Amino acid sequence: MNSFPGFMESDINKVPTDQQNTPGIKGYYYTANDGSQMAFWTCYEDRVSNEHMHDYDEYMICVSGEYVVTINGQENVLHAGDELFIPKGTLQGGSCKAGTRTIHAFGGKRIK
């Protein structure tokens, strides 16, 4: 597969551009009853993700492509099937290559 299934990319679940840490990507999200969220991101061009941190834990998996996650200054290169746990309060950033798709689980409300 080269994209997420259409039902996962509903306009009503699109992440607003002003809530993305990586410009020029598309993201869609779902909120669980406990307030935690899942997000599905697709990078269409090589992009850099701004450094940021969350006050909740984050889990991510790279579905396709390459995503370099920088955690407290250390690079972690993720390819298809690679997973990463990012503890709350951790400074993170990175970059993705065109064609990269990732899935993220947030232990809190990431998208307002």
For residue range 25-66, what is the model confidence (pLDDT) as tens digits? 999 999 999 999 999 999 999 999 989 999 999 999 999 999
In a domain, 17, yes or no: no
Q: How many domains does the chain have?
A: 1
Residue 45 is predicted with a pLDDT of 94
Residue 93 has a pLDDT of 95
Classified as helix, coil or strand, 62 is: strand
Residue range 17-28: mean pLDDT, rounded: 88
Rg, the chain, Cα only: 13
100: domain range? 24-106
Residue 11 falls inside a structural domain: no
Mean of the pLDDT values across residues 86-104? Answer: 96
CATH number of the domain that 55 lies in?
Answer: 2.60.120.10
Q: Could you list the beta-strand ranges (E) of 1-112.
A: 25-31, 37-43, 47-52, 58-64, 66-71, 74-79, 83-86, 92-96, 101-106
